[in-house]
Structure 1
Amino acid sequence: MPSTQHLLLKQFITAATRPLARNRPRLSTMRLAAEFLSLGQLMPWNVFLTDVKLEGMAAEWVIPAGAPLDRVLLYLHGGGYVLGSLNTHRSLVGTLAQRCNLQALAINYRKAPEYPFPAALDDALLAYRWLLQQGYQAQNIVVAGDSAGGGLALALLLALREAGEPMPAAAVGLSPWTDLVLPAPLLRRVAHEESQVLEALEIHNWGAMYAHHLPLSHPLVSPVQAELHGLPPLLIQISDAEVLGEDVMRFAAKAQAAGVPITLQVFEGLVHWWHLFWRFVPEARQALDQVAAFTQAVWETQDRPTLPVAAVA
């Protein structure tokens, strides 16, 4: 059963989004609101920030004290491909980097509708290739993202596979958006849940803004539609109460059938983006600790010495 803190969060979201769902604010207004709300975020103690430009794209190193210098978390923020920024997700990236004991690189990829597909994917590829150019080994990189950023992380893996480029060690999707099609029956089913009304109404439009002239079922737009063989280990977290839940579970089943090492963690009754509220909601801290355990297991597998093969007489 969700915690009291989560119940209060859900009540707040319901109260805040009910009038927004009726009035359908402009995207510019929602962007400003997201930036304004980010002003109240606090960084974890002993996590340091350094601005960096990747061929003109704003990015940010998020470095916990004592983190090793040879491993890195590439983080892609959520926001439906149309909003969100380094500001909105800085606190989440900070605590995730600290819990995983990894320096993180967060990027401010281009957003739709001004920059539709493939702009965000191109920026993610740029960041990943930039890390390789800086001397980081692919097996020392973990890619992660939430919501649309989680879907973008999966699309990044697919693009790397198709290009024959080295894969990262693993990827993490926090409530990843894996299918932009969002069939009407699904939207109608969740519309009665007040805390999801705005989410259900808006993301259908945001997906079309991002895909632009492409069909929403294009595999690099909706990773659940892709062939999923040859991907590195994945950790996927989702709540069974989210609009995106069924599609994520379908993605996980398809990935497992394709032989991908995948860990699916399903949380009960939580709102979308519960990870962002890690200071207040214990389920968020629990989820992020499980991400840390997953990345630690990835490194332990790499660091385990390979036993010599015994000669056969």
Structure 2
Amino acid sequence: MNTSSEADFLRALYQSWTDRIAANPNLTIADLRSLFDEWHQPTLEPEGVTYKSDVVAGVESIWALPVGADSSKVILYTHGGGFAVGSAASHRKLAGHLAKQLGVTAVIIDYRRAPEYPFPAQLEDATAVYHELLARGYQAQNITTSGDSAGGNLAIATVLKLRDDGIALPGSVIALSPWLDMEHIGKTLEANHATDALVSKAVLQGMSGMFLGETVSRTNPLTNPLKADYRGFPRLYVAVGSLETLLDNATDLAQISKAAGGDVTLSVVDGMQHVFPILAGRAREADAELSRIAKWFKSA
């Protein structure tokens, strides 16, 4: 099936970022954050969803509240952006669409970002919000951790840290185009270099350098979840586009999780770019993927 013309909106946006970054090699981190806050543009506003600003466990956050949603269930959403850019605002609409499809609420968190706050600040913020959700009365099984790209890493690493700490785990995990490999050794990093309009090895090296600094191991399971043990892990849904350099991060995760006896669903969508569900409301491919996620979620 040919990809829709609407799906090209995301490729064009990514290519514009790549071109602007290449033309201006001295962009500051503040410049990059302004650039990546355009990430909201592909997503059309979901109908019937309201939003509320909040501070959860000291972390600035935005709640997405679909009309008629089950308020006892919540998605803890961590945005993408290499742990350094992106924001709750740039991903608010995507999380709103996801929450609406699942029939639940969502809280999108503005975790601390690198390089000012390297690992483990992001993980500390995400786990603190999880603990606060428990304190507010949410049952662990009614919490879903979800995120895209670096936020997909965080959605998984949060669960690994909770398990290490003996805390009740969320009922499910949804990872969209997760960036997991901090060693940058995946084969599709080269094989899909020509088709991925945004994510290159050079970009990942820069982002991981800011995130990890000089001392944190690139094989620590909490920074590189491909090195983790997935025994006892919650139900896991992984979505990825076939054109991505990070394709094998997703496929390897699914393989590792299945080998550990995990309940994992992998969705590889042909012709799609990094975090293609952010085209929600605009492109049929994104809406179809969210529908598949909702069907999976409700089948538990």
- TM-score of the two chains, using structure 1 as the length reference: 0.88
Which aligned pairs between 1:59-138 and structure 2 lie closer than 5 A?
Answer: 59-138=61-140
- Greater shift after overlay, 32-41 or 106-115? 32-41
* Structure 2 residue 171 is the aligned partner of structure 1 residue 169: yes
The whole-number CA distance in structure 2 between the counterparts of 1:178 and 1:119 is 17
| Structure 2 residue 233 is the aligned partner of structure 1 residue 203 | no
User: Cα–Cα, structure 1 residues 113 and 279, in superposed 2: closer, same or farther, change >3 Å?
Assistant: same
Provide the residue aligned with 1:10 in structure 2.
Answer: 11
Q: Distance in 1 between matches of 2:167 and 2:196?
A: 44
Distance in 1 between residues matched to 2:3 and 2:43, nearest whole Å: 23
Q: Which residue of 2 aligns with 1:179?
A: 181
2:130 maps to a residue whose letter is Y
Which range is displaced more, 4-13 or 42-51? 4-13
Unpaired runs of at least 5, structure 1: 299-313
2:272 aligns to what? 270
The alpha-carbon deviation at position 22 of structure 1 amounts to 4.6
Output the CA distance in 1 between the equivalents of 2:186 and 2:249: 13
Deviations 1:78-106 (A, max 9, x none): 11100111110011011111111101111
Q: Give the Cα–Cα distance (whole angstroms) in 2 for the partners of residues 39 and 248 of structure 1.
A: 25
Q: Which 10-residue stretch deviates more, 1-10 or 214-223?
A: 1-10
Please say if residues 78 and 148 of structure 2, whose CA atoms lie closer than 8 Å, have aligned partners that are also in contact. Answer: yes
Distance 1:70 1:28 in 2: 37
CA deviations 1:44-65 (Å, max 9, x no partner) are: 2221111111232101221111
Gaps of at least 5 residues in structure 2 are: none
> Could you tell me which residue of structure 2 aligns to residue 148 of structure 1?
150
Secondary structure of the residue that 1:83 maps to in structure 2?
coil
1: CA distance, partners of 2:42 / 2:186: 36
**How many residues of Structure 1 are paired with residues of Structure 2 in the alignment?**
297
TM-score of the two chains, using structure 2 as the length reference = 0.92
Distance (whole Å) between structure 1 residues aligned to residue 42 and residue 187 of structure 2: 37
Whole-angstrom CA distance in 1 between matches of 2:152 and 2:186: 23
Distance change >3 Å, CA 94–CA 52, structure 1 → 2: same
1:221, 1:182 → 2: CA distance? 13
Amino acid in the other structure paired with 2:77: Y
Asked if structure 2 preserves the Cα contact closer than 8 Å seen for 1:82 and 1:111, the reply is yes
Report matched runs for 1:218-297 at 5 Å: 218-297=220-299
Can you list the C-alpha shifts for 1:178-234, whole angstroms capped at 9, x where unaligned? 2121128654444333624x5442122101211222121111001001111110110
* Deviation by residue 1:147-187 (Cα, 9 ceiling, x = unmatched): 11111011011111111110111100011112121128654
- The sequence identity of aligned pairs, in percent, is 33
Deviations 1:249-286 (A, max 9, x none): 11110110001110111111211021112132211111
